[in-house]
Structure 1
Amino acid sequence: MAERDRPGDAGDPADEVYDADAVADDEVADDEVEDDEPVGRGGTAVKERTKGSGQPKAKKEVRRAGLFGLIGGFFREVVSELRKVIWPTRKELITYTTIVIGFVTVMTAIVGLLDYGFGKGILWAFGG
């Protein structure tokens, strides 16, 4: 079974190194400023935002507003969100489960030993 690409894997575009010499998104380099464009006013990013996409906006799907319509809409949204989840592979699931069980076992032992020690100390202090 082939492993899936995940953030942090080699070649992930999200892991590119930040270039300190690069121009910030809201700044415009001196050689990119046009003569009719005021300097320091946001450059092309502001122009793109204010122009609009030129495509008509799609109308939102109309759903029934009754009780069953709301319940059905809820479950459709739940299924939609679950499709976006990156599910762990079997190997990852076993690894994570082993780590959790080991951590819980160690923490239970620590709390148990502290409880036993404090119990013995209280009994000693009050002569039990």
Structure 2
Amino acid sequence: EITRDIPNVSEEALRHLDEVGIIYIGAEVKAGDILVGKVTPKSESPITPEEKLLRAIFGEKAFDVKDSSLHVPSGVSGTVVEVRVFSRRGVEKDQRAIAIDKQKIEKLAKDKDDELEIIE
């Protein structure tokens, strides 16, 4: 699941992510920064008494999922210039994916209008 709500990750590490969990265009990134926030469910196993105590103190969610976010590779830094969101057929797109698609359509329409003006 793509999300900004990642357990045991500081707000500083999430500073470049939007409300959905995808990095903003124009963000300055360096090695280790999160590009896409993602969590995956942990496999169910018997819970020890220590784990029960930790769940009671820190909440249930932090122990049910693990951080599987996409990070900037080591030795790489730069500025985000483009964001692409891929989805499968039949799967609902989130708000950010819809907004990105809308921006692409508007840009293509503007480019088409500009080309028609040049031709005329």
Q: TM-score, normalised by structure 1?
A: 0.25
Structure scoring higher RCO (CA < 8 A, sep ≥ 6) equals: 2
Higher helix share: 1
> Higher strand share goes to which structure?
2
